[in-house]
């Protein structure tokens, strides 16, 4: 079915992109870890905390989250609750997934839309972090891009699901 081909094309395009942004997200997480460790050491041993460590951590967490989400979804490594689903038949599981997948797609499409709204509101170089005065809007843009990639992966998953259901 053509939906399966659409999903495979999306997967083929997003796979290298998601790996690249995952590397950026992983590097950001490493920087957060090192920054936090250095801040704690400086605070307790020298009574000199790193100014702006919280600002940097806050912004880097946006990168970690928004860049890891599409990759985890693409690789099916996100958390699922299987307590109930594992006791159901394969057909019932497929039907539940057919119902919940468009709900997820719709919900995160709304999140993308609201990310655009937030980006438009906060697109002002005067809205900055409290200590380092780093503008907020570039990080909202990164969050938006991560959500867009996530919604595209959800769409591909749904196309693949519909293709598999149509075969059965």
The model's pTM: 0.83
Q: Higher pLDDT residue, 159 or 31? A: 31
Half-sphere exposure of 75 (CA within 13 A, CB side): 14
Domain positions in the chain are 2-78+88-167
Interval 45-77: pLDDT, tens? 998 999 999 999 999 999 999 888 888 888 877
164 has pLDDT over 90: no
Between CA 146 and CA 131 the distance in angstroms is: 26
Between CA 22 and CA 41 the distance in angstroms is: 28
Amino acid 3: pLDDT: 75
Q: Kindly calculate the radius of gyration of the chain based on its CA atoms and give it in whole angstroms.
A: 20
Q: Which helix (H) or strand (E) holds 19?
A: helix 2-46
Interval 31-47: pLDDT, tens? 999 999 999 999 999 98
């Amino acid at each position: 079915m053509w939906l399966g081909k659409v999903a495979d094309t999306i997967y083929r395009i997003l796979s290298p992109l998601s790996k690249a942004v995952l590397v950026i997200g992983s590097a950001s997480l490493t920087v957060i870890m090192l920054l936090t460790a250095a801040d704690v050491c400086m605070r307790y041993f020298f009574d000199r905390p790193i100014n702006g460590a919280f600002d940097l951590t806050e912004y880097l967490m946006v990168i970690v989250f928004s860049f890891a989400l599409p990759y985890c979804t693409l690789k099916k490594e996100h958390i699922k609750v299987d307590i109930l689903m594992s006791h159901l038949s394969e057909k019932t599981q497929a039907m539940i997934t057919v119902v919940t997948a468009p709900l997820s797609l719709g919900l995160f499409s709304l999140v993308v839309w609201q990310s655009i709204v937030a980006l438009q509101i906060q697109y002002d170089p005067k809205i900055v972090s409290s200590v380092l005065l780093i503008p907020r809007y570039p990080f909202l843009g990164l969050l938006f891009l991560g959500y867009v990639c996530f919604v595209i992966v959800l769409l591909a998953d749904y196309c693949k699901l519909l293709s598999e259901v149509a075969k059965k």
